[in-house]
């Protein structure tokens, strides 16, 4: 065997021993007496949830809510401008939840919120996103959640 190959094998054996793959030195061999069932019950754990493998693989239960605060009467919300457009006028102290409308359009829906002639929110709403938009007389607050 070549010296390089011998060194590589020795290195692999050493790494296997460090990782715990080598047999124990005491000469005893332990064999598991039972097989794991895959279920674990513990009174302190919370109920199981759906696994999340990465950002964007889940679905938000709510997608879009827009509120107009006091003294703001000229708020409009437009879904899918330039396509299957739907516009909602929002008087002061009112809120509109457009989750169903976003679902019906299959997500990835562009939403534009305007206060008068000023655009205060312009964004595409994806399946894993949730937006709560509050329009004030001189400001806009957007709460954004990704699940």
- In this predicted structure, what is the pLDDT of residue 140? 96
- Does residue 63 carry a pLDDT above 70? yes
Residues 6+ apart with CB under 8 A from 87: 76, 77, 78, 79
Distance CA 31, CA 35 (A): 11
Closest listed residue to residue 111, CA positions, set 138, 131, 136, 89: 131
Domain boundaries, the chain: 64-146
Per residue, what are the HEC states of 46-61? CCCCCCCCCCCCCCCC
Q: Evaluate whether 64 touches 73 at the Cβ level (below 8 Å).
A: no
Instruction: Tell me the whole-structure pTM to 2 decimals.
Output: 0.60
Convert the pLDDT of each residue in 110-134 to its tens digit.
Answer: 999 999 999 999 999 998 999 999 9
- Does residue 9 carry a pLDDT above 90? no
Residues 6+ apart with CB under 8 A from 97: 62, 64, 65
- Does residue 30 carry a pLDDT above 70? no
- Element containing residue 100 per DSSP (H, E): helix 99-104
Closest listed residue to residue 139, CA positions, set 90, 70, 79: 70
The residue with greater pLDDT, 74 or 83, is 74
Convert the pLDDT of each residue in 39-58 to its tens digit.
Answer: 444 444 444 444 444 455 57
């Amino acid at each position: 065997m070549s010296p390089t190959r011998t060194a590589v094998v020795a290195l692999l054996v050493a790494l296997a021993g460090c990782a715990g793959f080598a047999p124990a030195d005491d000469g005893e061999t332990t064999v598991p007496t039972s097989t794991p069932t895959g279920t674990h019950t513990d009174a302190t754990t919370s109920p199981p949830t759906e696994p999340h493998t990465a950002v964007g693989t889940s679905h938000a239960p709510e997608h879009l809510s827009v509120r107009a605060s006091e003294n703001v009467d000229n708020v409009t919300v437009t879904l899918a401008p330039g396509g299957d457009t739907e516009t909602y006028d929002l008087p002061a102290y009112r809120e509109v939840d457009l989750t169903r409308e976003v679902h019906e359009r299959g997500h990835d829906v562009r939403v534009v919120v305007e206060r008068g002639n000023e655009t205060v929110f312009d964004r595409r709403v994806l399946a894993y996103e949730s937006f709560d938009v509050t329009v004030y007389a001189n400001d806009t607050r957007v709460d954004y959640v990704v699940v």
